[in-house]
Every structure is written in structure tokens, then in C-alpha cells.
Chains A and B, each alone.
Chain A
């Protein structure tokens, strides 16, 4: 392929796949691809789907994607599963729930391993979103790994975040803890035909009532049975409502500005880190520092201050 970015912009599906591979593996041409695609991003709407393992995120995403397709939208899906910290391998199994979507030309699904990232996404998820955006899909779903309580990176990557919960996961004190329950723009109780769905809905409502400050968007708590296609149109309608709401009150612009800022800072941190490490290790200075620190002649805090001063002069 001559120029991957050009081909992505022309709508070449294989180029889209190859571009994501280049980015995930941090190949030499990755930065160039992103530079070329960036001006063409910002048009897709990004929906985050998060929740505990087994909540039905993939099944729900499959059904929601079909609903968006029936409303004439093209869809990209990024499905993330955990990478083993021991072997570096992963089983990416979200496609199992999305098999008939794979044959729809208006849908592009890509599975990604977390590859060491701990926030529920992978480090390259945001870039993969941009590549799909530049390719021209209307809506991008980002499905996180099954999360526990504190993997909340999705909120930085998505325009609207939906937290998927299921009945029977714990008492109401779970619902007032900090973490993923703070990030939902929308809550969906999946498997709502199981016992305890009403109780969970009540508990979530009580949690939201404790928010004190009146917000102009109170996260709706929806019910669905994804594998029976129940409640799906309501969820999609609610996505639209939330999008209209944050477009009207300027919140979408705030979120996207914040995202641009964070992305730039993250990139800068990474580059500076690489540069400093490179300088320290290649010059062999690090060994002397480590020796002195070990002998308690100096301490890591003083050394770091010294290194920063000499490098950033």
C-alpha cells in the first residue's frame, strides 16, 4: 500500500485495518499517518460502553449498532479485552457477540488488547478512534474491558458514556462508592428480566438523588434485555437526547477541548520521558547516579532535580 493515510481517506477498508495495526505497534510511519488523518477527524460521535465483566456490553453494543444501522448511520466498533501481564497474550472475544454485524459493509469492528494500560482502554484506543473517524463512520462505539470500580479512562475518550450494570452484584453501598458510577451519562440495567432489576434501579436513583447540586442532566436509568432485543430503541433514543443536550449547552465542546488538551499533554509526557531516558541511559550517567543513590551519597529526589535542570536549560 503506497500511502496508508491517503487510502483511509479514500474509504479503503483494508487501509483502515492496516493503519490501526501500524499505530498499535508504534511502527515508524504511525506518527505520519496520524498527522495526515488528524485534520479529517472530529466528525464522528463517540459512545463509550463500560461496565463489569459479563454485564452484556458486547451483546448490547451489537444490538445498538444494528439500531443505528437501521437509522442510516455507519458504525465503527472498538472492543477492548485485557492483555495478560504475564505472557503479553490476550483472548479478544467480543466479536463472538457481533458475528452477523461483520457482514454489514457499514460496520467496522476492531478488537484491541489493553497491552499494559490499566484504565479500561489501551494506550492506542484514542488514535484508533481517530482513524475510524477520518475513514468516515458516523458513530464509534468504544467498548471497554470488563471494569471493576476505578477504570474510568473511557470518560476521557467518549462524548457520551454509558455504564451497563446487571442485577445482583452487591448491596447499595456499592452504589455510593466512587468510581465508575460517577462517570455514567446514561445507566442501563441489562438482563433486566432477572431478579433484582427494580431494586438496582431504586438504588441507583437514590445514589443520583444524593448528588445535591442540581445538574441540568440527570443520568437516566434504563432497562434492557439485550439478547432479546428489549429496550434497545430506548437506549439509542437516549443517546440522541444526551448528544442534543450537550451540544446545546456547550458541554460537548468543553469535553472535546479537555480531550485535546489531555491528549497533547500525554503525548508530550511520553516524548519527554523517552528523551530523558534516552539521554540518561545512553550517556551511562544513570549508572553513576544509581551507585551514589545506593551508597546514600545522594538521593533520587536531588538527582532528578539536577537532571531536569541540566536538560531543560
Chain B
């Protein structure tokens, strides 16, 4: 079986990466290869890294409120690169009311504060292509 590769990225300008690091560590312990790209990524950088690294999953974290703008942009750019099957998920401080629109835009699932990391691992295992 192929090893599952996940890009963990922080789009936008907030500097809070503790959550992303906790998730990266949990994914590592689940046996995934996690490509961690650090803070303040543009959607273009994320999409390019996702394509070059040929990841199965793009996992983004935003705590600044910029998710309605940045998450859909990443989805579009990743798809434009020809990555049709890549699972794209998001997390962070995201109001419940925003979630339907994000899903509509192609974010497969949104994980809000309090989510156990095992839920993210299970979701990836169940949905990765």
C-alpha cells in the first residue's frame, strides 16, 4: 500500500501554529508522511507544494478568520494543477455558520476546536484516494 502523504499548511497571516503542529505530530504517529511548510503561506505556494510533493491530502489551519477567502482559493489552485483527487481539509477557529459554504467550495471536512486528533486521522483514512 502507498504511504499516505499530507501537506500541513498555514495559509494567511496569523502566527498561531501550535494547532497545526499538534495535528502534524498526530498524523506522523498515525504513520503518514507529513510535509510541514510552516507559517504564512500563500495559496499559490500551498498549491505548488501540494503538486510537487504529490500529496494525497492538504490540511490547512487558519485562526485569523480569513478562511472564507483562503480555503476556496487553495481548492481552486490545487485542482488547476491537475490534482483532482487530493483530499482538502481545514481546521481552526471557524464559526459553524461558515462550514456549509466551505464544504460547498470543496473543503471535504472542517475540524473546529475540541476535535480529537484521532477524528482527523480517521477521516483521512476513510476518505483518502
Contacts and interface: CB of A to CB of B under 8 A. Distances in A.
Interface of A: 13-14, 16-18, 20-21, 24-25, 27, 83-84, 87-93, 95-96, 99, 102-103, 108-111, 113, 115
Contacts of A90: 28, 33-34
A91 B36 contact: yes
B63 interface: no
A102 B49 contact: yes
Contacts of B53: 17, 109-111
Given A25-B2, A84-B28, A99-B45, A17 B52 contact: yes
B10 to A, nearest CB: 11
Contact of A96 (B34, B37, B44, B54): B37
A108 B51 CA distance: 10
Given A14-B81, A27-B2, A92-B35, A87 B49 contact: no
15 contacts: A14-B54, A14-B81, A14-B83, A17-B54, A25-B3, A89-B27, A89-B28, A89-B29, A89-B32, A91-B34, A92-B35, A96-B38, A103-B45, A111-B35, A115-B3
A14 B3 contact: no
B36 A92 contact: yes
Q: Which of B5, B44, B83: most chain A CB closer than 10 A?
A: B5
Contacts of A25: 2-3
A84 B29 CA distance: 8
A13 B52 contact: yes
B36 A93 contact: yes
A17 B41 CA distance: 21
B25 interface: yes
B52 A99 contact: no
Contacts of B97: none
B82 interface: yes
Contact of A102 (B2, B24, B48, B82): B48
Contacts of A89: 27-34
A95 B36 CA distance: 7
Given A88-B3, A91-B25, A103-B48, A18 B54 contact: yes
Nearest to A109: B52
Interface string B12-40: 00000000000011011111111111100
A102 B34 contact: no
A99 B41 contact: yes
A183 B38 CA distance: 32
Contacts of A83: 33
B54 A21 contact: yes
A219 B23 CA distance: 43
Given A102-B45, A108-B52, A111-B53, 14 more contacts: A14-B81, A14-B82, A17-B52, A18-B54, A21-B2, A88-B31, A90-B28, A90-B33, A91-B24, A95-B36, A95-B38, A96-B36, A99-B41, A111-B35
A99 B29 contact: no
A83 B81 CA distance: 28
Contact of A99 (B28, B37, B82): B37
Nearest to B4: A89
B33 A92 contact: yes
A69 to B, nearest CB: 16
A103 B29 CA distance: 30
Contacts of A16: 52
Contacts of A17: 51-54
9 closest A-B pairs (Cβ-Cβ)? A89-B28, A96-B38, A17-B54, A25-B2, A88-B31, A21-B54, A89-B31, A93-B36, A92-B35
Contacts of A102: 45, 48-49, 52
B27 to A, nearest CB: 7
